[in-house]
Structure 1
Amino acid sequence: MAPFRVSIDPRGALGGLQAGYNWQTGNFVLGGEADIQIADIERTGRISGLNGNPAWFNTTSEKIDGFGTARLRAGYAFDRLLVYATGGLAYGHIKYSSYTQFEPHADVEYPGDASKWKAGWTIGGGLEYAVTDHWTVRGEYLYYDLGKSSYRAEPLAAHPPFNIKHTVDAAGSIGRLAVNYKF
């Protein structure tokens, strides 16, 4: 069986809480923050025609149901507007699943799944505006990379000719809006 690739781009929404501390000297701002979100980011992809056989196919899914970061940030304040860059640790709970079928051989099926907490890195930037002395609104972009994971899809047949190893790369982009209260 020749290697094959299924590309999926998970999409969805997330929401959660964040906490942090900022230190300002003049117009320069340095700080750190951590956040955690419940997420519903998922996608399924399918490829047909494995090894040139139009009846052979694979379906692969990826779902992130928890996501968070612990980051440093540095920025410059223009009166009530802060422009900043940020980066640090990213982590998430990811569920993978796959199903490969070699029709017309119904007994040659390869279901597989894995569920893992993964840690990696994130980098990004944003704008934060102080609406009052205590309330801010923010728009932020983050690129995250939680690394690669591998798992095997074990066959349902008693004596299969091979097994299937899946390698999944969990990386992507997040755009988010936030409302913050400063103590």
Structure 2
Amino acid sequence: MRKILLASILVIGSSEVAISADAVIDTLPVESAYKWSGAYLGGFIGYGFGDTEHLNPPGETGDLDIDGVIGGVAIGYNYQMGHYVLGAEADIAWSGIEGSHGPALFNSFNCGSGPCETEVNWLATIRGRAGYAFDNVLPYVTGGVAIGGVDARIPNAPELQDGEDTRVGWTVGAGIEYGISSQWTAKVEYLYTDLGDWRYDSDGSDFSATAEFSTVKFGVNYRF
């Protein structure tokens, strides 16, 4: 009788331990089946659109359109913790984002006999990324520093109003990346970028321009 009682206690105790263990396992973070950790290298192409403004205080043109194609390469690294994915990415791109307006009187600024022109010739960003993985689908937010090569001019102005500069600004956006295979991914990304303003005169007359724009990019990455 004692042996039967002891055996019953052992069986019941083992069952409770097993149930407790299952409960603990159920509360632990579940790993995403697709592994996002590691370095990657990729390329992208896209389109940019936004605004520029030319100023010579108190005169200003108001917002004028700029747009164009953009394309380049990116390098980055992801670190995965369960479903959470943190990373960093740097990219550099050739840019055809530009606009030419006038000659006309815009608000209180006259471009004279020639148009007011703005160009973003190249663009680089250094950004952090944070996302939540649904297996091989990774929606994420991103933001960081933007660096751009810009140029503004009034070609037919009597003085030399033409100036290139390298501007440091900021960028923020979001995207979604899809794991095609263990090594290849594809992504769509939106970024808003503000490069601030820069001087473009050579006679001390305080001509300046601004560049604020959005980009939508389609890219492919190879994971190492």
**Fold match by TM threshold 0.5:** yes
1:92 aligns with 2:141: no
User: Could you tell me whether the CA contact under 8 Å between 2:61 and 2:107 is conserved in 1?
Assistant: no
State how far apart, in whole Å, the 2-side matches of 1:33 and 1:4 are: 36
Q: 1:123 to 1:50 in 2, by over 3 A?
A: closer
2:183 is aligned to 134
Q: 1:79 to 1:148 in 2, by over 3 A?
A: same
1:169 is aligned to 210
**What do residues 70-116 of structure 1 show as CA deviations (whole Å, max 9, x unaligned)?**
10000011111100000001111111111466xxxxxxx24410011
Moved over 4 A (4+): 49-52
State how far apart, in whole Å, the 1-side matches of 2:222 and 2:200 are: 43
1:117 aligns with 2:173: no
Alignment of 1:1-183 (within 5 A): 3-5=59-61, 7-49=63-105, 57=113, 59-99=115-155, 109-152=158-201, 154=203, 164-183=205-224
Root-mean-square deviation (CA, aligned residues, Å) is 2.5
Structure with more of its chain in helix, by fraction = 2
1:157 is aligned to none
Identity of matched residues, %: 36
- Deviation at residue 152 of structure 1 after TM alignment: 2.4
Structure 2, unpaired ranges of 5+: 1-55
Q: 1:46 to 1:164 in 2, by over 3 A?
A: farther
State how far apart, in whole Å, the 1-side matches of 2:87 and 2:97 are: 28
Structure with more of its chain in strand, by fraction = 1
Paired residue secondary structure (1:132): coil
Give the number of the structure with larger relative contact order, counting CA–CA contacts within 8 Å between residues 6 or more apart.
Answer: 2
- Deviation at residue 38 of structure 1 after TM alignment: 1.4
Q: 1:49 to 1:135 in 2, by over 3 A?
A: closer
State how far apart, in whole Å, the 2-side matches of 1:134 and 1:48 are: 53
Paired residue secondary structure (1:10): strand
Q: 1:4 to 1:88 in 2, by over 3 A?
A: closer
- Deviation at residue 48 of structure 1 after TM alignment: 2.0
Q: Give TM-score, length-normalised by structure 1.
A: 0.81
Q: 1:97 to 1:78 in 2, by over 3 A?
A: same
Larger Rg: 2
- Deviation at residue 167 of structure 1 after TM alignment: 2.1
**What do residues 136-174 of structure 1 show as CA deviations (whole Å, max 9, x unaligned)?**
0000000011111123264xxxxxxxx743221121111
State how far apart, in whole Å, the 1-side matches of 2:177 and 2:161 are: 43
User: Could you tell me whether the CA contact under 8 Å between 1:7 and 1:45 is conserved in 2?
Assistant: no
- Deviation at residue 9 of structure 1 after TM alignment: 2.1
Q: 1:50 to 1:63 in 2, by over 3 A?
A: closer
